[in-house]
Structure 1
């Protein structure tokens, strides 16, 4: 049967055990649950360091590991189902469930509750951590180290405005496959902003366009839009900040930029790019 290699842990030689009878493979294996132990881990379509990044896994994310071979692990991320290869140096045994998430663009891990000490790591927005002791200023992590407590939120607390989360990443440089303030692509910006608001989102634009919200009519004058609407082109997506302004990570500006939707549409069309394919509304009016 045909399958999407991004979401299906199956190769001709190896596949996940739960796919037995659905795909053909020489061997079927059960996955071992693991956790990301670096701030960011690049997930690639092939087990090599010099191929493109499909996406990034954040500290504390969990995955099912199906193969450990020559320094690379073949995994499926549990948060969004993406399949690919991670460096085994970035993977550890899955520990206790995360209790908090990072709510700022970036926060440091210190070896002791002292901001003057050299950090031993850094955590991106959306990273998950397990807090075992919370003090007035610092939280001690079960995995080791201390993080400034005000940079964390309990897992169950959700941001009320996902657009405000995305706006904090304005001017972040563009990075294909990126998912942090060090570098973002268009669908990565949408996914991490929605995640902060407790909304599950696929990783790539084509999957997001199919899964998120409901379609709105596309008027020639681009009227009737509001904050939080998602605008899709083939291979691209942006977030409306208001009725006229689009926020998007894009390769024209090579960063997360804010501009009028009309200007973005006209510029893309002038370069023989695709027209807007859909506009989707995630939430009903309050």
Structure 2
């Protein structure tokens, strides 16, 4: 995605193409502003044009810069690998593999809640498993998950699970607005971690959803797939991104396989109702 630089700051909105006009309210570029001086004096480099490449670059007070704003993908199964979204190649350019460098754990209060980023929820009892850190979240930090195994070894070394996670998301110079961030996040999830299996995505909810006075965006999708030896043919995906500071957002994520939705979906919805932003 491309973000607009007006000479002083990055825009919150993004565009899929660099040719898009500046976002509403963006100031007009100033050809003689500081960026030009930084790149040269604008002398001619050849016949006909009269404008040098330094001057062209200097006008970069209003260029669109390709930035990797946010990408996030994870799956609580063993042996993750890229998967295809219908009609599209894997989104490897914006959805890199998870962070393999162990992160020093942050100090969180021992208050019976699961903390990740600036979010927390009451710890779930059995059959939900113990709270585990997860370092496979690209551009994610402080991620903690609880899971329930729904099918052991459906493939060698691989099990399928229902999962609930909270985490911090941070990237580069900050996040785009939650609505745009949610599309990148959901696309990464749907486009990266179901092997080579075709996955159909049907968004049933996509709406603004604030939490404790913080702007957010919530997406709920029904995913369908046909994976060899797997009992379930799909799952419910729940992604809630909350802008918890100027430079970071926090994430609530749940994936509930169809074959256990009757038992586990109420847990995921109850967690959402009890989610809170921690100061």
Higher relative contact order (CA 8 A, sep 6+): 2
Q: Which protein has the larger Cα radius of gyration, Structure 1 or Structure 2?
A: 2
Same fold (TM over 0.5): no
Q: How high is the TM-score relative to the length of structure 2?
A: 0.26
